[in-house]
Amino acid sequence: MPELPEVETVVRGLRQPLIGHTIESMWYDWENSIALPHANEFEGRVVGQTVIGIRRRAKYIVIELDKDLLLVHLRMTGRLYVAEENAVQRVDKWVHVKFGLDGAKELRFSDSRKFGKVYLTDNIDDVTGGIGPEPLEDTFTVAVFKERLTGRRKVIKSLLLDQHFIAGVGNIYADEALHRAAIHPQRSADSLSDEEIVRLYTTVRAVLAAGIQHEGASINWYRKPDGTQGESQKHFYVYGRDGQDCLTCGQARIEKSRIAQRGTHFCPNCQK
């Protein structure tokens, strides 16, 4: 599933081709993709609105319209891109929601697994109200991180994946952050020392920032809006490297286990 860096990259890639365009029509063939409101009401409300901005909240793409907010969650296989009305692309065969734009363009939502969702609301809290703080915001300080960890007995890898605890971190960047902080993913949150909390805070922010710099990880389905790959996968220390020598210590091989039903990568020497 695309995480914060991938979603942020999509947001940045959509600004130039989308902002300023007016939605003239809507088409869908999979009603379950429409999460809020009902599909018929959705179409009636969104047509005629103009895109005035695009931003991200957690793993949601937030398209600001002149009256409402159009939110898209890519889930596992979602792709969101702008194309010429008559252009044909390989991923078009999985398009289940499409917005016709002025200037003979279309905003297409391709999703082969059909897990992705689109929302239309005038209050973002209707969709994202329960999500935790943004880890790259200036207001997310070490003190805030430490306070949120206080009294938590949950396994630290599971806690990092909890979107109510912190926004946007997923399996890839949790593994990378824990490795760089030299913390075993099965440690309980309340066992971390003050020094380890500071290290983890720093590495969470660092791996997310690096992920954005490298424009996301194209491991499976994720692609940038122009169809090209991100390059974060070329810079991983542990994720997807099980069985290979640790790049940090060179003394052990990366192992893979399952935590919170997710494949988890770590170095048994660096992360004891």
Task: Based on the residue annotation, tell me whether 12 is a catalytic residue of this protein.
Answer: no
| Residues present in the chain in total | 272
What CA–CA distance (Å, rounded) separates 177 from 173?
6
What CA–CA distance (Å, rounded) separates 207 from 220?
19
Task: Based on the residue annotation, tell me whether 59 is a catalytic residue of this protein.
Answer: yes
Task: Based on the residue annotation, tell me whether 5 is a catalytic residue of this protein.
Answer: no
Q: Which of 56, 59, 79, 157 is catalytic?
A: 59
Token pair, residue 40, equals: 């018929």
Residue 249 in contact with residue 269, Cβ under 8 Å?
Answer: yes
Q: Which of 2, 5, 135, 225 is catalytic?
A: 2
Q: Which of 3, 6, 8, 176 is catalytic?
A: 3
What CA–CA distance (Å, rounded) separates 8 from 20?
20
What CA–CA distance (Å, rounded) separates 177 from 169?
10
CA dist list (Å): 168 to 81, 105, 165, 208: 21, 30, 10, 9
CA dist list (Å): 193 to 30, 181, 187, 207, 243: 49, 12, 11, 21, 30
Cα first-last separation, the chain: 28
Q: Which of 75, 154, 256, 262 is catalytic?
A: 262
Residues carrying an active site annotation: 2-3, 59, 262
